[in-house]
Amino acid sequence: MNMYDSARMRDALGFLGYQETDRKEEADILLLNTCHIREKASEKLFSEVGRMNEVKQARKAKGLDTLLIVAGCVVQAGGEELLRRAHAVDIAVGPQNYHRLPELVTKFNRKKGRVVVADFPAESKFDFLPETRATGASCFLAVQEGCDHFCSYCVVPYTRGCEYSRPADEILAEARRLVETGAKEIMLLGQNVNGWHGEGARDLGDIIRMMADIQGLERIRYTTSYPSEMTDNIITAHRDVPQLMPYIHLPIQSGSDAVLKAMNRQYTVREYLDIVDRFRAVRPDIAISSDFIVGFPGETDADFEGTMDVVRQVQYASSFSFKFSARPGTPASLMKNQIDERIKTERLMRLQELLLSQQKAFNVATVGKTLDVLMIEKGREKGQISGYTPYLQNTHVEGDKSNLGQIVTVRITGATATSLSGEIINPKAD
């Protein structure tokens, strides 16, 4: 979602004639988008602001003014404190206010002082942003934002606000525009994407089915799903819509019912496994991924073993796993039975070892197969390009720029835990 937001901020500043650059020293605006989800992500901000301030000061020495803007959830969680701690920051803007960037930049006046905008405006930012353009062959499209689930460890309901679903016609119009400007794949985004309940369709399944009619849109994906809000219409779209990729990110967080309850997750392990079965019934080859939190307050050895058991049962294609991070303002941060850091580390290592072995097994099982790969970028080595299979496996092949943005058929010849290698056997005609 932050990558999507960053692209929209770039579009908004494009209104004023600004263009994106990789070279910090030539930037009139340095914009840092931030994440508040775990302490590690939040803390990164301050070292990054320090580095940006060096650029700002070097430009100042040359008589050039630079606006340093911080955006994102760290601002929403405490913009004033951010300005106190980071003196170099000129403007701080929360995730629901970045449509106001052109106005904030135009009106900024050093004499009047620094600005924080972190309210939850009545208007939707989407109504004020300029039209999007594709940023490459694979693009993000936010369809839903915010969260009403209030998991006891999570800051998102406080930083992104309550759930908002964009109307279906607006989503379809944006999807068409992305395809017209070069997108072949669209990843539908939402903190709770399968909980979409906007105007003009019954659920996300309907949106996906409507998107399937867009000429030139070859791949549809969506993330992140909340298990108990999954609908049959979404699940069966994996059977009915060829453009919908066989991949589902379905975070379970923990394999213990007691921990799930303490987390305020509204499903049991059994219910989660049933949803997995329903996906596999309509699409046996579907790749399943999840997020996990280890060391949630009160998590016993037996609770953790429950998580390991679930992982063994599901056999994940890929996953993200984290140590519980006590975030300010969340109920879990105040729970008495916090887990020792050493135990968290041990559990995380054991879990990650298991997840990585499953990821490797999933990748190795594709060796010898031919898969369609959407080529996205140049590889690290000369003459190499890389892209993604339907199962979201990063795949490297020999190829040149002409293949970028194309879906090519690749024979998979090698696999590691994190990527595949192969050879193009047939550049698929457009």
Distances in Å between the alpha carbon of 160 and those of 82, 93, 127?
Answer: 17, 12, 17
Under rule CB under 6 A, residue 291 binds ligand 5AD: yes
Tokens 């340093």 sit on residue: 68
DSSP 8-state class, residue 403: G
Under rule CB under 6 A, residue 266 binds ligand 5AD: no
Smallest distance, ligand SF4 to C-beta of residue 76, A: 14
Residue 327 binding: pick among ligand 5AD, ligand SF4, none (C-beta 5-8 Å cut-off by kind): ligand 5AD
Smallest distance, ligand 5AD to C-beta of residue 324, A: 5
Q: Which helix (H) or strand (E) holds 48?
A: helix 39-61
In angstroms, rounded to a whole number, what is the distance separating the alpha carbons of residues 386 and 110?
45
Binding residue for ligand 5AD, selected from 293, 355, 376, 392, defined by CB under 6 A: 293
Q: How far is CA 3 from the centre of its chain?
A: 7
Residue ranges that bind ligand SF4, judged by CB under 6 A:
147, 149-151, 154, 156-157, 191-192, 226
Smallest distance, ligand SF4 to C-beta of residue 181, A: 30
Under rule CB under 6 A, residue 247 binds ligand 5AD: no
Q: Write phi, then psi, for 397 (nearest 5 degrees).
A: -140, 165
Residue 293 binding: pick among ligand 5AD, ligand SF4, none (C-beta 5-8 Å cut-off by kind): ligand 5AD
Contact at 8 Å (CB) between 222 and 194? yes
* From 110-118, 164-172, 303-311, 318-326, span contacting ligand 5AD (CB under 6 A): 318-326
# residues contacting ligand 5AD (CB under 6 A): 12
Smallest distance, ligand 5AD to C-beta of residue 286, A: 19
Smallest distance, ligand 5AD to C-beta of residue 268, A: 18
What number of CA atoms fall less than 13 Å from residue 223's CA on the CB side? 19
Q: Which helix (H) or strand (E) holds 346?
A: helix 341-364
Which residues does residue 223 pair with via DSSP β-bridges, in sequence order?
A: 189
Six token digits for residue 44? 């990164």
Under rule CB under 6 A, residue 105 binds ligand 5AD: no
Task: Report the phi/psi class of residue 162: left, alpha or beta, with left for phi > 0 and alpha for psi in -120 to 50.
Answer: beta
Nearer to ligand SF4, 151 or 250 (CB): 151
Binding residue for ligand 5AD, selected from 2, 15, 20, 38, defined by CB under 6 A: 38
Residue (of 79, 4, 287, 253) closest to 149 by Cα position: 253
Nearer to ligand 5AD, 38 or 378 (CB): 38
Looking at residues 124 to 183 of the shown chain, list those that interact with ligand 5AD (rule: CB under 6 A): 153-154
Under rule CB under 6 A, residue 192 binds ligand 5AD: no
Nearer to ligand SF4, 101 or 248 (CB): 248
Under rule CB under 6 A, residue 6 binds ligand 5AD: no
Smallest distance, ligand SF4 to C-beta of residue 427, A: 40
> In angstroms, how far apart are the furthest CA atoms of the chain?
65
Residue 267 binding: pick among ligand SF4, ligand 5AD, none (C-beta 5-8 Å cut-off by kind): none
Binding residue for ligand 5AD, selected from 7, 37, 67, 308, defined by CB under 6 A: 37
Six token digits for residue 123? 């208007």
Smallest distance, ligand SF4 to C-beta of residue 192, A: 6
Long-range interactions of 420-429: CB distance < 8 A, separation 24+: 420/363, 420/366, 420/367, 420/389, 420/393, 420/394, 420/395, 420/396, 421/395, 421/396, 421/397, 422/371, 422/373, 422/395, 422/396, 422/397, 423/397, 423/398, 424/397, 424/398, 424/399, 425/370, 427/403, 428/372
Which residues of this protein are in contact with ligand 5AD, per CB under 6 A?
A: 37-38, 153-154, 251, 253, 291, 293, 322, 324-325, 327
